[in-house]
Amino acid sequence: MRPFLAVSASLFALSSPLLHAQVQVITGHDEGDAGFWLGAIQPPAIDDAAQKATFKVVDGQPGGTPITVLNDGEIPKGEDDPKGSFFFADSSEGGRFSVDLGSVITVKSVDTYSWHGGGRAPQLYRLWAANGKDAAFDAAPKKGTDPKTVGWTLVATVDTRPKTGSVGGQYGVEVTNKQAGGLGDYQYLLFEVARTS
């Protein structure tokens, strides 16, 4: 079974209130080598806030690999490495997973990576963030629940599907707000992942 989405989270350090107009989604795409050298996107790190974070599937059917591969410090060994990638099952429409950073921190950026030989390589997701202090906060909102009604803020919508050219390869995404010095002060992140085809 090939990865639907392989994400290695290279997180964070963040700071002031979210200003939607200033949030940048920076992307990189390459045919792929083992180093994830994607232009302006830094390669995956092993000494960031993701290293000690707790990753959980909120909704959706995982493809078999535990979600802990997202912060195990390893990257996939090739474009078809199901054991080195987290993905939702072939038959699913995607899903949601959460990241608990352990405490409120200043998140500078959120970086995600994927690698596949075909149409599953691009990334398609909405990124939400929360500090957990809203009285209505739900740390694990299921599909059908609008996260903004339970204490979450929409940070960015990511869609790296190319309009032309090669679809496969490696993709890197950096969600940041360089003008504000970061995205904001958060403890929780929620990824709402959709199918790429």
* Residue 32 clears pLDDT 90, i.e. is over it: no
pLDDT tens per residue across span 81-110: 888 899 998 888 899 999 999 999 999 999
- Read off the pLDDT of each residue in 157-165 and give the average, rounded to a whole number: 93
Q: Can you give the pTM of this predicted structure?
A: 0.87
Round to whole Å and give the CA distance between 175 and 26: 6
| Cβ atoms of 139 and 132 closer than 8 Å | yes
Tokens (6 digits) for 155: 């940070």
- Cα–Cα distances (Å) from 197 to 37, 85, 108, 124, 160, in that order, read 25, 19, 31, 10, 12
Confidence of residue 80 (pLDDT cuts 50, 70, 90): confident
Asked which of 31-40, 56-65, 128-137, 139-148 is least confident by mean pLDDT, the reply is: 31-40
Alpha helices in 31-133 (DSSP H): none
d(CA 117, CA 114): 10
State which H helix or E strand residue 129 sits in: strand 124-130
- Whose tokens are 């002060």? That residue is 185
* Whether the predicted pLDDT of 181 surpasses 60: yes
| pLDDT for 9 | 38
- Does the pLDDT at position 194 exceed 80? yes
